[in-house]
Amino acid sequence: MTTILVTGATGNVGREVVARLAAAGVSVRTLVRDARRAPEGVEAVEGDLAVPATLEPALAGVEAVFLIWPFLTAEGAPPVLDVLERHVRRVVYLSSSGVNAAGVNASGVNASGVDSASGRRTDPINQLHADMERLITGSGMEWTVLRADTIASNTRGWAAQIRDAGVVRGPEIAPTAVVDPRDVAAVAARVLAGGGHTGQTYVLTGPEVIGRADQVRAIGEAVGRPLRFEKVPVEEARARMLADGRPPALVEALLSAAGTRARSGVVTTTVEQLTGAPARTFAQWAADHAADFR
């Protein structure tokens, strides 16, 4: 039986991918740094993408890999891809819809999100994914890229503020068609277990463009009490995020996105086309995860 290796298996998307593959009867293995945290009921092998030599045991007999890159640069990716290429035929990479986004950023310029002088994207997270896509599509493996819009479960980072004060305070980020991680996982599982997707790039979005204030409002409706979003200056947001224990490099990347990420009106039907079910709304995600915010 074909075995599929899932990286990022303890995260919001990866854990859902594992569950869907296992439910479909697919032989699935997870790559985890600590096997005690791995999803139950499937094989887990300890390894670390930061140490390519540790990947070898997890790749034995593997035909395809679902790759979530957990770092803020692609600097360490070439040796990892070299290891993958020696063992597997296919890789499915979780990227960002911002890689090829169109829109207007907060300053009203640079619709492509690319700096005309350097040729690099102004959003460091989008640049990371662009670099990873270039490396993967240039490898000798068959590939499929899933460009996901902002993932709904990112809002779990607001849970403490919601419980404590009922107000989410942070920088405004341009609205996009936020996508449910379950829908991303459903597409990933379909692509990993099926054929006909080699060389394809799929853009995955939710069914509606929604900003932070409306997301907070939807969570309030789910938990049964009014909540609101309050925009704050970047410096104040930085201090709060650092106080919450977020890594400084991640904080700077997220804050850069607040100033440079373009509003996107892109809404695709790719989730429904590939899975047969329409993409869930953010309100659906919030209702199903209300306990996370109570």
Structure tokens at 231: 């925009």
Question: Under 8 Å CB-to-CB from 232, ≥6 apart: which residues?
Answer: 169, 170, 171, 240
Question: Confidence band (pLDDT; 50, 70, 90) for 121?
Answer: low
Instruction: Please say if the pLDDT value at position 252 is more than 90.
Output: no
Q: How far is CA 178 from CA 127, 171, 240, in A?
A: 20, 17, 24
Confidence band (pLDDT; 50, 70, 90) for 240? confident
Task: Give residue 112's pLDDT.
Answer: 47
Going by C-alpha positions, the residue among 94, 36, 20 that lies closest to residue 28 is 20
What pLDDT was estimated at residue 230? Answer: 95
Looking at every residue in the chain, the average pLDDT score rounds to 90
Alpha-helical regions (H) of the chain: 12-23, 56-59, 77-87, 124-137, 159-164, 181-193, 212-223, 234-243, 248-260, 270-275, 282-288
**Which residues, 6+ apart, have CB-to-CB distance to 254 below 8 Å?**
125, 241
* pLDDT (0 to 100) of residue 235: 86
Helix, strand or coil, per DSSP, at residue 49 = coil
The CATH number of whichever domain residue 206 belongs to comes to: 3.40.50.720
Q: Any idea what DSSP says for residue 55?
A: G
- In the predicted model, what is the mean pLDDT of residues 1-20? 95
In Å, what is the CA distance from 133 to each residue of 40, 126, 158, 199? 31, 10, 30, 11
What does the pLDDT average to over 128-157? 96
Q: What is the pLDDT averaged over residues 201-212?
A: 97
pTM of the model: 0.91
Contacts (Cβ under 8 Å, ≥6 apart) of 96: 125, 126, 129, 147, 148, 149
* 261 confidence band (pLDDT: 50, 70, 90): low
With contact defined as beta carbons under 8 Å apart, do 67 and 141 qualify?
A: no
Tokens standing for 20?
């869907």
Q: Give residue 172's pLDDT.
A: 86
Give the model's confidence band at 171: pLDDT under 50 very low, under 70 low, under 90 confident, else very high.
confident
pLDDT average, residue stretch 77-90: 97
Helix 12-23 × helix 181-193 angle, to 10°: 50
Domain extent, residue 91, equals: 3-293
Judged against a pLDDT cut of 70, whether residue 150 lies above it is answered with: yes
C-alpha–C-alpha distance, residues 60 and 128, integer Å: 28
What is the spatial distance between Cα 92 and Cα 78, in angstroms, rounded to a whole number? 16
One-letter amino acid of 213: A
Phi, psi of 169 (to 5 degrees): -110, 125
Q: How many domains does the chain have?
A: 1
